Amino acid sequence: MARATGKSAHSRDAKGSSRARKTAPREPQPKSAARKGRAQDNLEPQQARSRESLRKLLKAAAEVLGQHGVEGTTIPRIAAHAGLTAGAIYRRFNDKDELLETMILGILDRQDERLRTGLTPEMAAQIPLPVFTEQIVHSLVVSYRANAGLMRAMRQFVRTRKDTEFWKKACRSEVRSYERLVDLFLANAKSIRHPEPKVAVSLGLMMVISTLQELVLDTTEMRVWKGLMPPDDGTLKDELIRAFLGYLGAT
């Protein structure tokens, strides 16, 4: 009798515990935390897609600008090139000018970043000045020739925005990149016999770049001068190197 009573009591306790476990409510998750978690899960892919979409848009704007010039670059043409709708572009930018400003500043900033991280003055000092000059001039000639349309249109657009905040930013970025390049050459100042090495490098580089702008970008009058200018890019590169090193009095 005692055993039966004990067994019965144990069964009732077990059943009660089982029912309690089944009916015990779960600890509710705070709604704000749940919403935050879902929002965070969705946010990163959305941001990644947005960055990729912007990258494609700016790339398309650069390609259209290089192919069609400032006047021929339109929002519908950029949209078609990027595989987007014109409305999608206008949701990001007010007009063509704002889009082109963003694209150009991005190009200039990336150029400056490559100069900042690609080669330090300490590394440049290990390269003989004539070899380093050949590398830089070769790179400039190739870049100007490959990107002539885009560079020409960028120069034209920047000039039309003179004294705007965009123009000031573009100028600061270009000067900063130019100063980095000058510093790389000055890492070999001991090989420069000119009494003012910094002035010589700065002016020498300006002469090289101005020549490329005249011969490669501003091509409308070049047929008149054809017989007096280097006949090909290889000869042009060699003459620019000779002129630059000669002016520096490089050893």
At 210 the pLDDT is 96
Cα-based distances in Å from 25 to 19, 21, 28, 34: 12, 9, 8, 18
**Domain 49-93 of CATH type 1.10.10.60:** yes
Boundaries of every domain in the chain? 49-93, 95-248
- 243, 137 contact by CB (below 8 A): no
Alpha-carbon distance of 58 to 64, in angstroms, equals 10
What pLDDT is recorded for position 251? 67
Report the pLDDT value the prediction gives residue 186, as an integer from 0 to 100: 98
Query: What's the pLDDT score for residue 110?
Result: 95
- Beta bridge mates, 192: 250
DSSP code at position 190: G
Query: What would the two tokens of residue 15 be?
Result: 């059943």
49-93 with 95-248: one CATH topology? no
Cα distances from 56 to residues 62, 68, 89, 103, 206, in angstroms, run 10, 18, 11, 11, 33
pLDDT (0 to 100) of residue 53: 87
Question: Alpha-carbon dihedral of residues 185, 186, 188, 191, nearest 10 degrees?
Answer: 100
What CATH architecture does domain 95-248 belong to? Orthogonal Bundle (1.10)
The half-sphere exposure of 91 on its side-chain side, counting CA atoms within 13 A, is: 10
Amino acid at site 196: E
H-state helical runs in the chain: 2-23, 31-72, 75-82, 86-90, 96-118, 121-124, 129-146, 148-160, 165-186, 197-212, 222-225, 233-248
Residue recorded with tokens 């897609």: 49
pLDDT at residue number 171: 97
Q: What is the pLDDT along the chain (251 residues), one digit of tens a residue?
A: 444 444 444 444 444 444 444 444 555 555 555 555 555 556 666 787 788 889 999 999 999 999 999 999 999 999 999 999 999 999 999 999 999 999 999 999 999 999 999 999 999 999 999 999 999 999 999 999 999 999 999 999 999 999 999 999 999 999 999 999 999 999 999 999 999 999 999 999 999 999 999 999 987 666 777 788 898 999 999 999 999 999 999 96
According to the model, what pLDDT value does residue 36 have?
Answer: 57
